[in-house]
Amino acid sequence: MITPKVEVRVTADGSSTLYVPELDEHYHSTHGAVQEAQHVYLGAGLEPVLAGATSPVRLLEIGFGTGLNALLTLQRSLASPYPIRYDTIEKYPLPAPIIEELGVERYVLNPELLEYHQLLHSATWDTLVKLTPRFALHKMAGALQETSLPADTYHVVYFDAFAPEKQPDMWTDDVFAQLYAATAPGGVLVSYCAKGSFRRSLKAAGWLVEKIPGPPGKREMTRARKAG
């Protein structure tokens, strides 16, 4: 699979993202990539799950991309009461020179975290790798729609696809039914997107859907829960 052409851009909080000219789309919010990841994925998704966890947490990310969500989640896992197993699916793994060009050392100042950033990217694809005693990573190369997922497993799903107008095949009723089947009872799915068509597809698949405040620059985001 050929990775589309991307260009490095710096967002309003000083962290980097990638711009895809072919789609006229960014990998993260231009208001702040780290800020968005912390608010949407860790704040609204992971934290409530960790607060109620009684066993190791299973997490699924759609779109590994630059590895930013994974890095911040690994950082959080260092002080987490339970280990996190992070499964992530990526159709277009990024080449190493692009990862270097992001220049994360400009805003990830902790040398230990910078080392983890390297480890996340050098980890072998399609293999479960234990990066720390509290964080295991399984990067799956391929399209979500063609990936078979275990049933009733994930406590948190980070749904970080390109916007519905840019990549409609990622936002179908079938995709949200596939993710519902893979989510553990009581598990949550979070996304920066708050579009009505997205919420309707989630509901059609059985999710209980709520609109909650979004990160700076975005009024709302979505959190959905599988009854449990």
Ligand X SMILES: C[S@@+](CC[C@H](N)C(=O)[O-])C[C@H]1O[C@@H](n2cnc3c(N)ncnc32)[C@H](O)[C@@H]1O
Q: Give the footprint of ligand X on this chain (CB under 6 A).
A: 27, 62-63, 65-66, 68-69, 89-92, 143-145, 160-162, 170
Smallest distance, ligand X to C-beta of residue 42, A:
12
Smallest distance, ligand X to C-beta of residue 85, A:
17
CA angle in degrees (0–180, nearest 5) for 57-60-63? 150
Which residues make Cβ contacts (< 8 Å) with residue 206, sequence separation at least 6? 177, 180, 226, 227
| Closer of 55 and 102 to ligand X (Cβ) | 102
To the nearest 10°, the Cα dihedral for 203, 59, 219, 66? -130
The one-character DSSP state at 38 is: I
| Closer of 73 and 80 to ligand X (Cβ) | 73
Smallest distance, ligand X to C-beta of residue 86, A:
12
| Closer of 73 and 227 to ligand X (Cβ) | 73
| Closer of 87 and 160 to ligand X (Cβ) | 160
Nearest CA among 223, 224, 187, 191 for reference residue 52: 187
Smallest distance, ligand X to C-beta of residue 178, A:
11
Residue 102 CA: distances (Å) to CA of 44, 148, 175 = 26, 31, 30
